[in-house]
Amino acid sequence: MPQVVRSPKPYDVCIIGSGAGGGTAAKILTEGGLNVVMLEAGPPLNPEKDYKEHLWPYDLPHRGIGVGGKLR
């Protein structure tokens, strides 16, 4: 259950969402010296299961579909 608590320090920026845009914004702003808080409502991601684009091409399940045929 979500809880509301007081933050012990103020932040310069509040970023809603830690996707590609939110993560990039947080990186740039913190590198610029700002205090940033990021809020995310999505579920936690497991890199072992959730990031399928980081597979080697030969590990992809659809590799070779539609390719091939008879040799001449």
- Residue 39 belongs to a domain: yes
Close Cβ partners of 44 (under 8 Å, ≥ 6 residues apart): none
The string of pLDDT tens digits covering residues 10-65 is 899 999 998 889 999 999 999 999 999 999 888 887 877 777 666 676 776 666 66
Q: Which of 22, 20, 18, 21 is nearest to 41 (CA)?
A: 18
- Residue 26 belongs to a domain: yes
Query: Beta-carbon neighbour count of residue 28 at 10 Å?
Result: 11
Query: Beta-carbon neighbour count of residue 4 at 10 Å?
Result: 4
Residue 20 structural domain: 13-59
- Residue 67 belongs to a domain: no
- Residue 43 belongs to a domain: yes
The string of pLDDT tens digits covering residues 2-15 is 777 787 788 999 99
- Residue 33 belongs to a domain: yes
User: Cα(54)–Cα(7) distance, rounded to whole angstroms?
Assistant: 36
User: Cα(40)–Cα(17) distance, rounded to whole angstroms?
Assistant: 5
Number of folded domains that form the chain = 1
pTM of this prediction exceeds 0.85: no
